[in-house]
């Protein structure tokens, strides 16, 4: 691992966790570019030319771009990520490196079936596929995880901020820490990506590194930097937590004021430090 991926700011010598900063469309260049990797959302790639153009530029510059299937954003409407045809259209539009397969929120068997079908759709294409285990109980989630890991063509595992806490019976950060600790006792395992985060994301990133999880937890994406700033919920750089979770899902279309944008930039530095990255890079 290169020096860029190690940091003397926290836990020197411990592998860092790459960070993708999700930002509203008006602030992409001010905020998203501060992450060493990028996360694009399928529904926005298909809706917004400026949004798609930004990620196409980043891909052309050699940045690793992950394309999400928008399952979190569509939770209240469809309860599942967009279908393969939409994800593939968006992936080709921005030349994504990684695509997140179709999953069905909280439903393990349906997610195994949908991921299997998704893999058939993308066979022969040069995308890495991230699969996302689902379930409503620990037993269901772990069964789904094992089944997905056994599927040929799955390169990595995404840990949902919705299904992991529901399955492990704890707040998101605590649930994912327990989950990863359990998965590391199994062999083999695939590289893992933390999908989103809650008010404790900075603390969670720090704890994964303290516990040695960053050997397998390779990356995270989150809108926390801007959305907690927009909701006037500062992330404490010492505790790594905000006072409470945001009341709504992030607004990815509207600008935020200059004062809140400055707080968002500071939040990115807090998250980067917790992840073991240079806070100012």
Percentage of the chain exceeding pLDDT 70: 92
pLDDT of residue 21: 96
pLDDT of residue 280: 84
How far is 60 from 249, CA to CA, in rounded Å? 30
Q: Of 28, 25, 30, give the one whose Cα is nearest residue 48.
A: 25
Largest CA distance in the chain: 48
Residue 38 confidence (pLDDT) above 90: yes
Q: Of 42, 40, 28, give the one whose Cα is nearest residue 90.
A: 42
Give the containing element (helix H, strand E) for 271.
Answer: helix 258-274
192 CB-near residues (< 8 Å, 6+ apart):
156, 157, 158, 159, 180, 183, 216, 217, 218
Residue 188, preceding peptide bond in cis (omega within 30° of 0): yes
Mean pLDDT, rounded, for 244-272: 96
The CA distances from residue 275 to 5, 16, 32, 38, 78, in Å, are: 10, 6, 16, 15, 33
User: Residue 262's Cα: distance from chain center in Å?
Assistant: 23
What fold is seen in the domain 3-274?
A: TIM Barrel (3.20.20)
DSSP-derived secondary structure for 108-172: HHHHHHHHHHHHHHHTTSS-EEEE----SSHHHHHHHHHHHHTSTTEEEEEE-TTHHHHHHTS-H
Token code pair at residue 169: 């019976």
Considering only residues 267 and 187, tell me which one the structure prediction assigns the higher pLDDT: 267
Token code pair at residue 215: 């050997």
Residue 5 confidence (pLDDT) above 90: no
pLDDT tens track for 183-198? 999 877 899 999 999 9
Mean pLDDT, rounded, for 11-23: 89
Mean pLDDT, rounded, for 260-278: 96
Residue 259 confidence (pLDDT) above 80: yes
**Confidence grade of residue 71 (pLDDT, cut at 50, 70, 90):** low
**Confidence grade of residue 82 (pLDDT, cut at 50, 70, 90):** confident
How far is 229 from 233, CA to CA, in rounded Å? 6
pLDDT tens track for 90-124? 999 999 999 999 899 999 999 999 999 999 999 99
Mean pLDDT, rounded, for 163-186: 96
**Confidence grade of residue 77 (pLDDT, cut at 50, 70, 90):** low
Buried-exposed string 38-70: b where 16+ CB fall within 10 A, e elsewhere:
bbbbbbbbbeeeebbebbbebbeeebbbbbbbb
pLDDT of residue 80: 56
DSSP code of residue 261 = H
Mean pLDDT, rounded, for 164-180: 98
pLDDT of residue 48: 94
Residue 127 confidence (pLDDT) above 60: yes
Mean pLDDT, rounded, for 144-165: 96
Residue 54 confidence (pLDDT) above 80: yes
Least confident of 12-16, 148-152, 181-185: 12-16
Mean pLDDT, rounded, for 139-168: 97
How far is 40 from 280, CA to CA, in rounded Å? 22
């Amino acid at each position: 691992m290169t020096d860029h991926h190690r940091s003397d700011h926290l836990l020197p010598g411990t592998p860092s966790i790459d960070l993708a900063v999700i930002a509203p469309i008006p602030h992409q260049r001010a905020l998203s570019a501060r992450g060493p990797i990028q996360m694009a959302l399928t529904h926005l790639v298909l809706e917004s030319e400026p949004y798609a153009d930004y990620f196409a530029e980043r891909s052309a510059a050699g940045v690793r771009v992950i394309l999400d299937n928008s399952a979190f954003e569509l939770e209240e409407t469809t309860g599942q990520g967009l279908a393969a045809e939409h994800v593939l259209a968006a992936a080709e539009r921005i030349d994504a490196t990684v695509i997140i397969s179709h999953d069905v929120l909280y439903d393990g068997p349906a997610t195994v079936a949908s991921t299997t079908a998704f893999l058939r759709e993308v066979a022969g294409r040069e995308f890495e596929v991230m699969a996302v285990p689902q379930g409503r109980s620990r037993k269901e989630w772990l069964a789904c995880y094992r089944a997905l890991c056994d599927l040929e063509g799955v390169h990595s595992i995404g840990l949902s901020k919705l299904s992991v806490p529901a399955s492990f019976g704890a707040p998101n950060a605590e649930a994912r820490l327990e989950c990863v600790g359990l998965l590391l006792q199994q062999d083999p395992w695939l590289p893992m990506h933390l999908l989103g985060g809650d008010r404790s994301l900075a603390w969670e990133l720090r704890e994964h590194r303290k516990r040695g999880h960053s050997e397998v937890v390779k990356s995270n994406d989150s809108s926390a930097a801007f959305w907690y700033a927009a909701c006037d919920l500062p992330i404490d750089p010492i505790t790594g937590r905000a006072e409470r979770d945001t009341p709504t899902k992030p607004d990815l279309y509207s600008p935020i004021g200059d004062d809140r944008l400055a707080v968002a930039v500071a939040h990115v530095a807090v998250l980067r430090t917790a992840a073991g990255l240079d806070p100012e890079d």
